[in-house]
Amino acid sequence: MGSNLYGVDLGTANIKAVSKNDGKVFSEKDTVAIKNKKEFYAYGDEAYAMYEKTPSTISVSFPVVNGVIADFANMQRMIEEFFEKNVKNHLKNAEFVIAVPTDITEVEKRSFYELFYKSKMRPKVVRLCEKPIAAAIGIGLDVSESKGLLIVDLGADTTEVSVLSLSGLVYSDLIKVGGNNLDECIIAHIRRKYSLIIGHKTASQLKMELGSAVGNDYGSQVIVGRDVVSGLPIEMEITSADVNEAITEPLNQICQSIKLILEKTPPELARDIIHSGIYCVGGLSLLHDVDKMITNATNIKVNLTSEPDLCAVRGLTNIVAEKKFNSLLYNLKS
Ligand SMILES: Nc1ncnc2c1ncn2[C@@H]1O[C@H](COP(=O)(O)OP(=O)(O)OP(=O)(O)O)[C@@H](O)[C@H]1O
Ligand SMILES: [Mg+2]
């Protein structure tokens, strides 16, 4: 395999890429800023910094929605700029391996392929890999064994629950619930309860600092929002209890999805899962007490990992480096 080889995880919130050469991971917000409806103005962390702060001539949007590409043209422009910036001199004859969600349509998978294959980078080869398998390898699990593994990827727009065995997927269910939904619920709850309008970044910060998946108390925080009645900005103290009340519903949906997959899992594989526990990856698994919530719902222990949002992309590094993993990659002809 060539050395200009990159693994990519195009998430709803973040784009993460890894270079086979040195194993270096580069990541940015998966965000674009468009000026006057058509001019590509900024992307990545720079565009995200403008989110909810722009004048009416600039709009900030997220080209990946619910785990799939929703705005092909801007996503393509963004990856071209992203790779140009990070690995400018190493793009000739490049090869890309893209991690894709399992439970999406063939057309949606092809769109990931074409995004790279038809880009200005003119790559030599583009291959795909199922994201849950990449994530499992990223945690250091042996996916080739005839042993059941349950991987829960808690992302920004999606949660993907997958059962793996013998390097394949036995079941995979992608639900449209993730960290972004929790943010939306916090915004709606604070508006309803305190007539206070807050932005997505404030909501996300409240989720990370005060939120608990099992209702534990992580204190309080003074935030700034706009009072619905007066229209003026005011300060208000928000407590852990406020946040926890807001996020209960989407978290229940995540638990339901895990339980549903467990109900479908054949007993022999379920036995393995009970022994080894459930593996959580994705940024939302950093929410306080997610492990306790899943254990309460399933009676199965939960394994967390460091840098859970980078598991899939780290797994791609191992997959492209070792020949034995070759069969996990597949090609789509144009
Ligand atoms: N400490 C934290 N506590 C709670 N949530 C967190 C924390 N850190 C990150 N998150 C959330 O994790 C999500 C991003 O995770 P990740 O990068 O895995 O998503 P993604 O791969 O871009 O999305 P998807 O997999 O849905 O396409 C965001 O919703 C973010 O708010
Ligand atoms: Mg993800």
Ligand 1 touching residue 204 (CB < 6 A)? yes
Q: Are residues 117 and 223 in the same domain?
A: no
Q: Are residues 92 and 61 in the same domain?
A: yes
Ligand 1 touching residue 246 (CB < 6 A)? no
Ligand 1 touching residue 208 (CB < 6 A)? yes
pLDDT of residue 332: 84
Closest ligand (CA of 174): 1
pLDDT of residue 334: 64
Q: Are residues 128 and 152 in the same domain?
A: no
Q: How far is CA 107 from CA 32, 99, 153, in A?
A: 23, 15, 22
Give the chain's domain count.
3
Question: Which residues are within 8 A (CB) of 67 and not within 5 positions of it... i.e. 6 or more apart?
Answer: 11, 12, 101, 104, 155, 157, 158, 160, 174
Ligand 1 touching residue 67 (CB < 6 A)? yes
Ligand 1 touching residue 11 (CB < 6 A)? yes
Q: Are residues 170 and 302 in the same domain?
A: yes
Q: Are residues 24 and 49 in the same domain?
A: yes
Give the Å distance between the CA of 182 and the centre of ligand 1.
Answer: 11
Q: What is the pLDDT along the chain (334 residues), one digit of tens a residue?
A: 457 999 999 999 999 999 988 889 999 999 999 999 999 999 999 999 999 999 999 999 999 999 999 999 999 999 999 999 999 888 999 999 999 999 999 999 999 999 999 999 999 999 999 999 999 999 999 999 999 999 999 999 999 999 999 999 999 999 999 999 999 999 999 999 999 999 999 999 999 999 999 999 999 999 999 999 999 999 999 999 999 999 999 999 999 999 999 999 999 999 999 999 999 999 999 999 999 999 999 999 999 999 999 999 999 999 988 889 999 999 887 6
Amino acid identity for residue 276 in this structure: S
pLDDT of residue 147: 94
Helix (H, G, I), strand (E, B) or coil at 241: helix
pLDDT of residue 88: 86
Give the Å distance between the CA of 271 and the centre of ligand 1.
Answer: 30
Backbone angles phi, psi at 140, to 5 degrees: 100, 20
141 in Cβ contact with 34 (< 8 Å): no
Q: Are residues 85 and 110 in the same domain?
A: yes
According to DSSP, the residues that pair with 220 across neighbouring strands are 239
Which of 309, 310, 311, 316, when mutated, tests ligand 1's pocket best, judged by the most ligand atoms within 8 Å of its CB?
309
Ligand 1 touching residue 132 (CB < 6 A)? no
Q: Are residues 75 and 109 in the same domain?
A: yes
pLDDT of residue 321: 87
Which of 208, 243, 314, when mutated, tests ligand 1's pocket best, judged by the most ligand atoms within 8 Å of its CB?
208
Specify the pTM. Answer: 0.96
Ligand 1 touching residue 156 (CB < 6 A)? yes
For the domain that residue 186 is a member of, what is the CATH number? Answer: 3.90.640.10
The residue out of 198, 228, 246 marking a domain boundary is: 246
Question: Which residues are within 8 A (CB) of 271 and not within 5 positions of it... i.e. 6 or more apart?
Answer: 148
For the domain that residue 302 is a member of, what is the CATH number? Answer: 3.30.420.40
Question: Which residues are within 8 A (CB) of 318 and not within 5 positions of it... i.e. 6 or more apart?
Answer: 137, 138, 325
The residue out of 199, 224, 246 marking a domain boundary is: 246
Q: Are residues 194 and 165 in the same domain?
A: no
Question: Which residues are within 8 A (CB) of 41 and not within 5 positions of it... i.e. 6 or more apart?
Answer: 33, 34, 35, 47, 58
- Residue 100: name the closest of 69, 141, 143, 63 by CA: 69
Q: Are residues 36 and 70 in the same domain?
A: yes
The residue out of 246, 269, 291 marking a domain boundary is: 246
Closest ligand (CA of 11): 1
170 in Cβ contact with 265 (< 8 Å): yes
Neighbours of 15 (CB within 10 A): 24
Which of 15, 64, 201, 286, when mutated, tests ligand 1's pocket best, judged by the most ligand atoms within 8 Å of its CB?
286
Ligand 1 touching residue 66 (CB < 6 A)? no
Q: How far apart are CA 279 and CA 302, in angstroms?
A: 6
Q: Are residues 51 and 125 in the same domain?
A: yes
Q: Are residues 58 and 156 in the same domain?
A: no
Burial of 323 (0-12, 13-18, 19+ CB in 10 A): exposed
pLDDT of residue 1: 47
- Residue 176: name the closest of 303, 330, 70, 291 by CA: 70
Q: Are residues 123 and 49 in the same domain?
A: yes
- Containing structural domain, residue 212: 179-246
